[in-house]
Amino acid sequence: MTYVVTEACIKCKYMDCVEVCPVDCFYEGDNMLVINPDECIDCGVCEPECPAEAILPDTEDGLAKWLEVNAKYAEVWPNITEKGEPPADADDFKDVENKFEKFFSPEPPKSA
């Protein structure tokens, strides 16, 4: 198994998770992060750190799509190990639904 970052991260991107991961397996996109399933050691440390509750174990139902998104974009987005500045409007998007359809960006971070 692995942990995966899910929809709640999109446009929130608080990045509290990256600081605690012992194997630095988070990767940064324009408006969300993903976990590399091949590198994650399933320690679970990141899960309670996420203010948006976006990180889930892939043993939960309905996460096949998110496992795919995490695996795919961990290959193309840059690694992130230090917390950056979250978007100024992150809190406005915390409980918004269907963020993948509305806002998902396949682009790497603009600063990269």
Residues in contact with ligand SF4 by CB under 6 A are 3, 5, 9, 12-17, 20-21, 23, 25, 33, 35, 40-46, 49-50, 52, 54-55
Burial 72-89 (b: 16+ CB within 10 A, else e): ebbeebeebeeeeeeeee
DSSP β-bridge partners for residue 3: 57
Among 17, 33, 46, smallest CA distance to 79 is for 33
d(CA 110, CA 79): 14
Q: Which is nearer to ligand SF4, 16 or 104 (CB)?
A: 16
Least spacing, CB of residue 3 vs ligand SF4, in Å: 4
Least spacing, CB of residue 57 vs ligand SF4, in Å: 8
Q: Which is nearer to ligand SF4, 19 or 64 (CB)?
A: 19
Least spacing, CB of residue 14 vs ligand SF4, in Å: 3
